């Protein structure tokens, strides 16, 4: 079974409704910095429209794009793990509408219903593992030394 790309579509209707009960709709204009690398991570988003680029500051270089997220994609996972700091920065490529979730509220829902929490965390882990594979592949394409015969 392939890793889920979209969190909300991967949840059962019951769990989706439970998660959406703590969401709010937000919007960001084009070029808006949603968060900065190493900033306080206390929430996440599921994109409804528009695109967001994830970026990373590279020592001695400009900030480099790591991935582009599109509608349905999950933005943010650092709220899950101490020290609750963003691993990347995020900026809108176009105007964005999204569902926003506060990490404390989602952790509380998960604590009260361990089956819900397990399902949610498993989906987050599958999405993140898939992103890691894609980022690794992209990094190899961009930074691997080019040698004859490859």
Q: What are phi and psi of 23, to 5 degrees?
A: -100, 165
Does residue 147 carry a pLDDT above 90? Answer: no
| Cα(99)–Cα(64) distance, integer angstroms | 26
DSSP-based three-state secondary structure for 60: coil
Predicted TM-score (pTM) of the model is 0.85
- Answer for the pair 59, 116: CB distance below 8 angstroms, yes or no: no
Average predicted confidence (pLDDT) for the chain: 88
For residues 43-48, give the mean pLDDT.
Answer: 97
Amino acid 141: pLDDT? 65
Higher pLDDT, 129 or 150: 129
For residues 11-34, give the mean pLDDT.
Answer: 97
For residues 32-52, give the mean pLDDT.
Answer: 96
For residues 131-143, give the mean pLDDT.
Answer: 70
Higher pLDDT, 71 or 146: 71
First to last CA, the chain: 31
Which has the closest alpha carbon to 7: 112, 124, 131, 109? 124
């Amino acid at each position: 079974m392939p890793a889920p790309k979209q969190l909300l579509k991967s949840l059962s209707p019951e769990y989706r409704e439970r998660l959406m009960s703590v969401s709010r709709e937000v919007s960001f204009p084009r070029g808006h910095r949603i968060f900065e690398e190493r900033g306080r991570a206390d929430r996440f988003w599921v994109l409804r429209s528009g695109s967001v680029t994830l970026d990373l500051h590279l020592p001695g270089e400009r900030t480099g794009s790591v991935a582009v997220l599109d509608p349905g994609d999950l933005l943010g996972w650092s709220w899950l793990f101490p020290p609750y700091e963003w691993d990347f920065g995020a900026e809108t490529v176009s105007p964005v509408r999204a569902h926003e979730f506060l990490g404390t509220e989602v952790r509380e829902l998960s604590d009260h219903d361990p089956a819900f929490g397990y399902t949610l965390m498993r989906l987050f882990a599958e999405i993140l593992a898939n992103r890691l594979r894609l980022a690794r592949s992209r990094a190899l394409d961009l930074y691997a030394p080019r040698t004859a015969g490859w």
